[in-house]
Amino acid sequence: MMDMNKILLIDDEEDSLDGLSLSLKNEGYDVISASSGKEGLDAFEREAPSIVLTDLNMPGMDGIAVLKRVKNRNPDTEVIVITGHGDMDSAIDALRYGASDFITKPVREEALHLALQRAREKLIIRERFRAYTADLENMCHIAIGEVKRKSDFQDKLITSSNDGVVATDEDGRIIIFNPEAEAIFGIPRINVVRKLDFRQLFPSQIADLFSQMFGSGRGMRDVGWRDVMIPRKGGDDVPTRFSGTLLFDGEDIIGSVGFFQDLREIKRLEKELVKSERLAAIGQTVARLAHYIKNILAGLKGGTYVVNIGLDKNDTDKLRTGWQMVERNVGRISYLVTDLLAYSKEREPEYRKCLPNDIAEDVCELLDRMAMENRIKVERGFDPSIKEVSMDPDMVHSTLLNLVSNAVDACIFDLDEKKRHTVRVGTQLEDDNVIRFTVNDNGCGMSEGTRNKIFSAFFSTKGGKGTGLGLLVVQKLVQEQNGSIEILSELGEGSTFIVRLPYGKVE
């Protein structure tokens, strides 16, 4: 802050100088007096007053010369000149050279007071203006710093992004190509930025979409995530996920940006997962098989033991019972082997003339006894309009046998003893040469978790009593017959399996 109380007073007339000095001091100013222009300038250099009051008419260096030198040294100094009475020309001269005001001799107190007040006001305004400007500059500096920081941050963000980022200007020329993009495309940035157009870089699949987007004005603004292969010269193509968007400033397209996610690592992990899942499935398969075989072995062991007792004691009853046990378990092994073979071997259907309702009836009869022992009713609902058709009867039989015995098991395993358990087996002629087989039960039903796993190898909810192959075999058989399978099930309510199989007409 400058000292606005300091006034340099220059006048060659002794009386005038003293008189003015006195009256200024009375007003509270800090007055420096000089009796010539030369002396005044020296004092100005030394004291740096903010207001100079100088007589114009002085011998040697006159007031105009002092004014010019002072203004030259410090243009902010307020210079008030004192002119002789009626000397308007000098006063105008002085104003032209930058004097802020003039007063005439003899100097009247009020005029002096007013001139000084104006000078001080000007000084204050100028001071405020300077502070304001400094503030403004400071703020401007801070703002620029912030903008730069943000831009640096965005730069770093783009540079260190895990996505390949490729941005273009409004003409499609590439202006940003980050390190990850370099890694995906296998081209150094320097060969791309401002050298290539997206049409030259992107695979045609997305280059075409981008061209459309640029051409559509505001119609199409972005390209959603999709899988894109990036061809690489002399290397494997790179699988990526891509999405892109146009950049707008208001209504104008100012460029575009595309994001590429490198999927190589993910694909590699997926492959590994598939492999490890297969290994796990094999391990599970072996464990399940071993378990199932262990059960059969228990039966066989029991059988041979009873046979041996029968032999030792010559007891025909024991011999017969033991032998039945052995036979039953031999039967179980052959079922297992049949299931395993059916599951693992490809088999083309062998079409023959057959009656689908008879096949369904045969399956029901096979399971009737077991159902009855467990107080389960097997109901038939066969469509009488189904006549002789051409199908693979063995495949139809295996399919239905698996489904109906599952339905019976679902009732046996049901914890709800108040239910009257029923298995319904139905056939229905559908359009397009298709027969619909429906197997419905009101047994234990399936949870969603179970429902999702029923077609996995060796999945079984029957403990050691199921091979975990039945539904897999069904699925495979249905596929081989070009049919379809549909499952409706609710935990505690029961399940319905609907199998649709196409048939050939019989002449």
Partner 1 sequence: MSKRVLTVDDDPDIIMFVKTVLEENGYIPLIAMNGETGLSIARDEGPDLIILDVLMPKQSGIRMYRELKGDDALKDIPVIILSGIARRTFLRSQEALTEFGDQPVPEPEVYMEKPVEPAELAEVIADLIDRS
Interface residues with partner 1 (CB under 8 A) are: 291, 294-295, 297-299, 301-303, 305-306, 309, 318, 321-322, 325, 328-329, 374, 412-415, 417, 463-465
Nearer to partner 1, 312 or 346 (CB): 312
Query: Amino acid letter at 127?
Result: E
Instruction: Report the half-sphere exposure of 278 (CA within 13 A, side-chain side).
Output: 6
Contact yes or no for 87/59 (Cβ under 8 A)? no
Alpha-carbon span 414 to 464, nearest angstrom = 17
Alpha-carbon span 216 to 145, nearest angstrom = 38
Tokens of 432: 């397009």
Tokens of 225: 């995530």
Give me the least distance between CB of 444 and partner 1, in Å please. 9
Report in angstroms the alpha-carbon separations of 206 from 58, 161, 213, 218, 493: 88, 21, 10, 18, 51
Give me the least distance between CB of 439 and partner 1, in Å please. 19
Give me the least distance between CB of 458 and partner 1, in Å please. 15
Nearer to partner 1, 101 or 441 (CB): 441
Tokens of 391: 């199908």
Tokens of 87: 């000397």
Give me the least distance between CB of 208 and partner 1, in Å please. 59
Give me the least distance between CB of 261 and partner 1, in Å please. 43
Give me the least distance between CB of 287 and partner 1, in Å please. 11
Give me the least distance between CB of 414 and partner 1, in Å please. 7
Nearer to partner 1, 282 or 298 (CB): 298
> Any idea which residue has 């249905």 for tokens?
478
Nearer to partner 1, 267 or 301 (CB): 301
> Any idea which residue has 């011998």 for tokens?
59
Question: Which runs of E-coded beta strand occur in 231-290?
Answer: 238-249, 252-262
Report in angstroms the alpha-carbon separations of 25 from 20, 28, 488: 8, 5, 110
Nearer to partner 1, 4 or 296 (CB): 296
> Any idea which residue has 């912030």 for tokens?
146
Alpha-carbon span 383 to 363, nearest angstrom = 16
Buried b or exposed e, range 320-333, using 16+ CB within 10 angstroms: ebbeebbeebeebe
Nearer to partner 1, 253 or 306 (CB): 306
Give me the least distance between CB of 424 and partner 1, in Å please. 21
Nearer to partner 1, 46 or 328 (CB): 328
Tokens of 177: 């190509």
Tokens of 504: 């050939």
DSSP 504: B
Nearer to partner 1, 374 or 475 (CB): 374
